[in-house]
Amino acid sequence: MDFASAGFGSMMIDFVSARPQQPHALALPVGKDRVLTRAGEEADHAGGGQLRRALDTARADGEVAQITEVLAPAGLDCSRLLAIGHGVPSKADGSVWERIGAALAARLQTSGERHLVIDLSGLDASAAVNPAAHVAFGVLLRSWRHDVYRTRLSERQKPTLEQITIVDQRADTAEVFQRLRATAEGVFLTRTLVSEPANIVYPETFVDRCSHLAELGVEITVLGQEEMEALGMGALLGVSQGSSRPPRLLAMRWDGTGGAVKTPVALVGKGVTFDTGGISIKPAAGMEDMKWDMGGAGAVAGAMKALAMRKARAHVIGICGLVENMPDGNAQRPGDVVTTMSGQTVEVINTDAEGRLVLCDALTWVQRNYKPGVIVDLATLTGAMIISLGHEYGGLFTNDDDLGQQLLAAGRASGDQLWQFPLGDAYDKLIDSPIADMKNVGPRYGGSITAAQFLKRFVEDGVKWAHLDIAGMVWAAKPGPLWDKGATGYGVRLLDQFIAANHELG
């Protein structure tokens, strides 16, 4: 099957029962303690034992995604032989095989190789996980690039890998891969939105980039400034008033239940397409990174695409509050008081604590218009979260223990991991204001928690709510297992898994 996506190029992925004859590089899995598959034993025999000698020389013991490479191997009809570890077979879950596919893609993407054959024959065909489908998924995730503005790439920098052939005997591989492919498309949309500079993706063009979801059956509603003014969204509009770019509220509705599920799940994303900090301006060093301050909204958009592409039997609303935070003469000032759509008032102590002002009005709007039973919001909300968790976990805050456990489980299953933080009255008191209902920041300590306490004040009684602070997760300064440096696409797989496990009809 052909696979094509913006930022990814075009790649052919095939699942076959026997190794093809045309020129190729060959990858073979190696288990813990250098245990070879049948295909590996045959390759080692054909090459006079060179595969095992290479493994011995490299001291490779089958560690997951560890690659041992033999160039122009004797006795084999391949340009190079790559032995890649998959660890202990009983522990090789989907994430292990995804890492294997990703490692091979990273190794060969610009190598000059055009065709890679991954021979998985001889693996346990009765295992619960489908290795071939997850290997292909890992290849896709790691191969994505954003080269739109790179006009002078040398030949050695350009991708060459065009075709992946996976030798596999399982009958359900294509079906399993189609579902994973839908998730990959959602991840790619998110990565593209997060990667684009702020002069290209701003509130209006963010909406444009999501308009194609209508072709997949997603109902799209867009509110402009006048509509939001009429609704009294003073918090969101206060953030945007310093920018020449008008704000937008984007609502995406996917109902794959045919109307059977009346109460939807709401996913709400912070979409600050560029954040200078406003009048409370950020330091110049590193400010260019603030193009990804819409990573929460990007994750929501990507998740909605994934759900629609795989025809998820769920009823989900995706909301993106889209603004640009700029410091012109009309920008809101520290000390201003704004009235939110809920009627509550906020003293703006710091204009760089703008994400919660955007989210609070988005939360009120979705509750009034769609009456969701569950809300999950995602936001690159606080630098304090990066101090707490680094770039390994997103922060989880919730008013419902069961919802928290569901999200933690979805994080473990998807690889987009979360770590739970507390909420409580002692923290809530820290954002009380002497002149308004609340202020938008508390003291320096507990900054991520007081931000979550702020949002909690806008959740109506009886609604299960979780806030995910993903500030450390949407952008990577160095390559990771499934992504190159840059946009990670964090949140899409998490949300897709959460919906599949908890809110999808059987």
Query: Which residues are tagged catalytic?
Result: 282, 356
Report which DSSP code applies to 90. G
Cα end-to-end span (Å), the chain: 28
Distant-in-sequence, close-in-space partners of 503: CB < 8 Å, separation ≥ 6 = 261, 265, 314, 315, 316, 374
Tokens of 131: 């290795």
By C-alpha distance, which of 138, 143, 140, 136 is closest to 158? 143
| Contact (CB, 8 A) for 497 and 410 | yes
| Contact (CB, 8 A) for 250 and 320 | yes
Gap between the Cα atoms of 285 and 456, Å rounded: 32
By C-alpha distance, which of 39, 40, 37, 64 is closest to 50? 40
| Contact (CB, 8 A) for 384 and 374 | no
Cα 473 to Cα 180, 206, 298: the distances in Å are: 21, 20, 12
| Contact (CB, 8 A) for 30 and 55 | yes
By C-alpha distance, which of 104, 112, 175 is closest to 141? 104
